[in-house]
Structure 1
Amino acid sequence: MSCSLIKTGSAFILSVVFAMTAPLAVAQSSDASAEKAASSLYDRLGGLAPISVVVSDFIDALVPDEVLNANPAIDAARKRVPAPYLKYHVTALVCQTTGGPCQYQGRDMKSSHAHLNITEAEWGRMVSIFKEVLAKHSVPEQETQELLDIVESTKADIVTM
């Protein structure tokens, strides 16, 4: 399987997941709240370990989803791209976009999604799954909203129908 084929097939999940992660712990004191506001989203989410766990769970929820797989292009892409490879790239993307030290090496969202014909309904389903996974991992409201804002910023490059 060629690297470019894998990157093309992973496009939808990469964009969807790049904003996923969960904190190991959240401070409750007012001093911690001030420090929290000054920290990067990456740090507030707990760093690479919890990000990778949430990304893994998110991809595991997306891959078998019947609503998303009803789109033949998404279904075909999922069959070409191994889930562990996707998890690796998505974890790097989330790490980078939240202020962590990782460097995402994949393609941009627009070119990697153009052939998938993502609809508004499919986008909505992905966001719903994303919110469920974030809730499962008890991601705090502020961080959840910041992640959703990041995901929303990619919508114009991903939704084509």
Structure 2
Amino acid sequence: MTTQRNCDEQSRLAALQLRKTINVLREALSEAMSEITSLRAEITTLRQEDDRVKQRQVQKVKRPNDLLKNDKRRATRSKAHVDSQAENVRLMKEMKVEEVEWKQNWLKKEWRMREETLSHKSERDTTASQEEDGRDVKEVLLDYSKVNVSSSSPSLDHHLSC
């Protein structure tokens, strides 16, 4: 009888820890998604700025009268300035894209590591519970696979109460 109570209490504690971990992961995922959304908006803004700079550059080339009004040195400087602005915008855009890709890859890697940690922890828990109540590991894993991981899941509460 006390063995059953200990098993029930351990199951409840494991489920509580699992719920906390899931909530932390959900928060991290939502933060990452909002960061990705803001970075995408920033990339769009940078692309628009890049388009505007390119358009200004084309307009400068199309208006030879403006170039004729200025002396040769000033025209060269203004074209070089526009070129450097376009290059700066292009570099910023590339940096932001690389940053977003890096963050996405990091989050995927972090998520996989946490899932592996949880699966290893789950395997240890199932092995321990198998030794205590004599059930087969496959039966325990089947029970765990039926459990809904939602924090307010009635099936999880039902599973833990038995």
- TM-score interval (norm. to shorter): under 0.3
Using the size of structure 1 for normalisation, the TM-score is 0.27
Q: Which has the higher helix share?
A: 2
